């Protein structure tokens, strides 16, 4: 659960509370009755959001039961007003439960100011690759890319770049073995690229990207090196492109 989720829940709760209090005040001060039911739809949204987040299952059941009951009633002013009063009586209890549940839930702040689609980053690397490509990756490569997406979304850019480079090197070794038929073990990144360059079947554009990434990777060898968000996302973007070529 991230802070944006908590914010959304809070906004919905605030809207329901405002709806109840506003029309209660209108009725008392101006003798005006509401002509439409806006509470029930808001309760439906609240229940749906809580279920998605796995919060307050008992409260969700109570909300759904009340919604079902209200839907069976006639939509006249008296029934709508009664509905608001009923929600007004029980809503403070729901509010307290939800607040208590959120307070004890661990949350993270998700970085949405990314070049790569933040929703896709939250879903993971499979969202950036065709299924035919994703299923050809080794389990370790899949895990490395998953970790990289998670790191970028929480702003851990240097770990994201490092783990992405490991995935790229793994894919490079697979590509080297497929093209040359030789064992890539005990050969460094630059050596693999140099030997691939001598093969006519090797994709020269791919080798150019790999050579570019090799230079960026060398930056990590400096003990004080740090990757910016832009650099980490650039590495991950190149990784997706390279994997599409290698595992096509």
User: pLDDT tens-digit profile of 190-228?
Assistant: 889 888 988 888 888 888 888 888 888 887 777 778 888
Residue 30 pLDDT more than 70? no
Mean pLDDT of the chain: 82
Q: How many domains does the chain have?
A: 2
Q: Are 126 and 231 part of one and the same domain?
A: yes
Q: Are 235 and 160 part of one and the same domain?
A: yes
49-78 pLDDT per residue, tens:
888 888 888 888 888 888 887 776 655 556
Q: How far apart are CA 128 and CA 141, in angstroms?
A: 14
* Confidence grade of residue 34 (pLDDT, cut at 50, 70, 90): very low
CA distances from 186 to 10, 105, 194, 222 (A): 55, 46, 15, 22
116-171 pLDDT per residue, tens:
888 888 889 999 999 999 999 999 999 999 999 999 988 899 999 999 999 999 99
Residue 48 pLDDT more than 60? yes
Q: Are 132 and 226 part of one and the same domain?
A: yes
Q: Are 94 and 130 part of one and the same domain?
A: no
User: Which residues are paired to 2 by β-bridges?
Assistant: 108
Q: How many helices (H) and strands (E) does the chain have?
A: 11, 0
Q: How far apart are CA 180 and CA 212, in angstroms?
A: 21
Taking a C-beta distance cutoff of 8 angstroms, is the pair 12, 45 a contact? Answer: yes
* Confidence grade of residue 20 (pLDDT, cut at 50, 70, 90): low
- Output phi, psi for 108, to 5 deg: -125, 155
What is the domain range of residue 123?
118-246
Task: Specify if 110 maps to a domain.
Answer: no
Instruction: Name which residue leads in pLDDT, 18 or 133.
Output: 133
């Amino acid at each position: 659960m991230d802070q944006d989720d908590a914010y959304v829940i809070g906004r919905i709760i605030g809207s329901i509370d405002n709806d109840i209090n506003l029309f209660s005040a209108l009725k008392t001060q101006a003798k005006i009755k509401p002509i439409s039911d806006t509470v029930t739809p808001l309760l439906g949204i609240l229940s749906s959001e809580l279920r998605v987040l796995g919060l307050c299952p008992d409260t969700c059941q109570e909300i759904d039961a009340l919604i079902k009951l209200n839907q069976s009633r006639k939509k006249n002013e008296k029934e709508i007003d009664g509905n608001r009063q009923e929600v007004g009586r029980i809503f403070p209890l729901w509010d307290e439960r939800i607040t208590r549940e959120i307070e004890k839930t661990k949350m993270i702040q998700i970085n949405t100011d990314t070049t790569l689609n933040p929703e896709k980053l939250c879903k993971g690397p499979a969202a950036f690759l065709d299924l035919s490509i994703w299923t050809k990756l080794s389990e370790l490569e899949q895990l490395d890319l998953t970790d990289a997406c998670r790191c970028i979304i929480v702003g851990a850019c240097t770990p994201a770049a490092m783990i992405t480079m490991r995935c790229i090197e793994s894919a490079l070794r697979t590509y080297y073995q497929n093209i040359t038929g030789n064992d890539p073990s005990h050969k460094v990144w630059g050596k693999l690229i140099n030997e691939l360059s001598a093969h006519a079947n090797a994709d020269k554009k791919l080798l150019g990207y790999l050579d570019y990434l090799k230079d960026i990777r060398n930056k990590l060898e400096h003990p004080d090196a740090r990757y910016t968000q832009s650099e980490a996302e650039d590495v991950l973007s190149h990784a997706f492109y390279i994997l599409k070529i290698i595992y096509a």
